[in-house]
Amino acid sequence: MTKGEKKGGLSPGAIIIPLALAQFVCSYAGSNMNVAISDIARDLGTSITGVQTAISFFTMTMAALMIPGSKLTDISGRKKIFLIGLTIYATGALIGALAPFLGVLIVGYSFLEGLGTALLIPPVYILVTVTYSGLARARNFGIVSAAAGIGAAAGPLIGGVITTTFGWRYSFILQIILVIVVIILGLRIVEPPKEGPKHHFDFGSAILSAIGLVLIVVGLQTTSTYGWLTATSSLTIGSTVIIPEGFLSPFLIFLIVGFLFNVGFYYSLKHRERIGKEPLIQTRIFHNRSSNLGLVTQNVQWLVLQGTFFVISVFLQTVRGFSAIETGLVLTASTVGVLFTSSIAARLARRRSQRLLVRGGFVTTLIGIGLLFLFAEQALSGPIAYFLPGLFLIGAGIYPRL
């Protein structure tokens, strides 16, 4: 125990509590809104598409600013950025809870909560890295990852119960309460001193990265209206046709331009390395096979889980007319799957290689998706139980990849 810890700081064993709780809150925020889409749209006088846009913008903001957030952590300190991120997040949640119309919800939830998440998540993993070592580090990374998975999987049920019982605004109030708890605990964190030279922020690369990611996400948002490859209808601004029907879809155009910005981001990093200046991130990370595989695996994991929750939530509420709590209860099948495999994960890790577990998780998830497709027609009007086996297997397959 360090000197600072003896004077009131959290012990190394207790530091993981606020870090895991912070990760849980952020993952919960990404999934609980799905079950309240109809209620929010009705209360704010907007459309289902409008609420879906707010949810997508939350993810877009978080993704666009995560890399700059990581660099700010190196520059200003892990604990400081962690607490700033929590404060911004709580402010956004308060604005979201009080939002009188969609625009205010987007400011609070989509942008401020997204910004807060981008700032507080990198310190979570860096603090685990610098605080623990060996088996303790691996165990606590597992705790934080499990908190992320459970937050995402349990979000629909918790959000459904709160929305049905009290109203969707109280889901934001719950987040505020949890974040206040994390801030109180976070103030007592004593982080190890930073070592090495002073870091500098690479504004040019940060802007290129953010624009590239935003363009790709915005492009994805256009597919429901204009299609994937060719424009199914004309894109107009006012009375001016920007993209005529039958031309390249807006998605492809946004994708190409976004890709070019990301290429520019990479070469901006290379240029700074070549002239001896500190880049936003080191380009060697892009050539690390293990790192790339881990990133791809985790991205696929969240794409499957969040995508499944998003699509099924909208279907249950708009087609089947389910309430928020009914929707959450259906999606609990995935939560049960996550909890099931988490309970046997340690035993599996001792008996099987990590590579085998990851592959097994993907296969299990694919079987679950296959079952959803197989019973999709029956689920349109028949018993909702047709969804449960597929959702359970998707959740069960997610956890081994955490």
Instruction: Read off the CATH number of the domain in which 166 is found.
Output: 1.20.1250.20
- Same domain for 185 and 78, yes or no, is yes
Q: Domain span at residue 268?
A: 202-279
Is 50 among the domain residues?
Answer: yes
- Same domain for 215 and 344, yes or no, is no
Number of domains in the chain: 3
- Same domain for 183 and 232, yes or no, is no
Is 161 among the domain residues?
Answer: yes
Domain end, chosen from 279, 304, 323, is at 279
Residue 320: CB atoms within 10 A of its CB come to 14
pLDDT tens by residue, 214-257? 888 888 878 878 888 888 888 887 778 888 888 889 999 999 99
- Look at residue 5 in the predicted model and tell me its pLDDT: 44
- Look at residue 200 in the predicted model and tell me its pLDDT: 81
Domain end, chosen from 279, 306, 327, is at 279
- Same domain for 300 and 275, yes or no, is no
Distances in Å between the alpha carbon of 347 and those of 139, 344, 354?
14, 5, 12
- Look at residue 2 in the predicted model and tell me its pLDDT: 41
- Look at residue 346 in the predicted model and tell me its pLDDT: 66
- Look at residue 105 in the predicted model and tell me its pLDDT: 95
- Same domain for 166 and 19, yes or no, is yes
Is 319 among the domain residues?
Answer: yes
Is 90 among the domain residues?
Answer: yes
- Same domain for 158 and 248, yes or no, is no
- Same domain for 240 and 352, yes or no, is no
Q: What is the mean pLDDT of each run of 10 residues along the chain (402 residues)?
A: 48 83 89 85 89 86 86 88 96 96 94 94 89 81 80 82 91 95 91 74 89 86 84 83 88 94 94 90 80 73 75 82 83 82 72 78 88 81 82 78 46
Q: Which residues have C-beta within 8 Å of that of residue 29, sequence separation ≥ 6?
A: 58, 93, 109, 113, 117, 155, 175
- Look at residue 152 in the predicted model and tell me its pLDDT: 77
- Same domain for 183 and 110, yes or no, is yes
Domain end, chosen from 198, 231, 260, is at 198
Q: Which residues have C-beta within 8 Å of that of residue 95, sequence separation ≥ 6?
A: 104, 107, 108, 109, 112
Is 274 among the domain residues?
Answer: yes
- Look at residue 86 in the predicted model and tell me its pLDDT: 96
Burial (CB < 10 A; 0-12, 13-18, 19+), residue 72, is buried
Is 360 among the domain residues?
Answer: yes
- Same domain for 370 and 249, yes or no, is no
CA 311 to chain centre: 16
pLDDT tens by residue, 330-339? 888 887 887 7
Q: Where are the beta strands (DSSP E) in 4-127?
A: none
- Look at residue 386 in the predicted model and tell me its pLDDT: 83
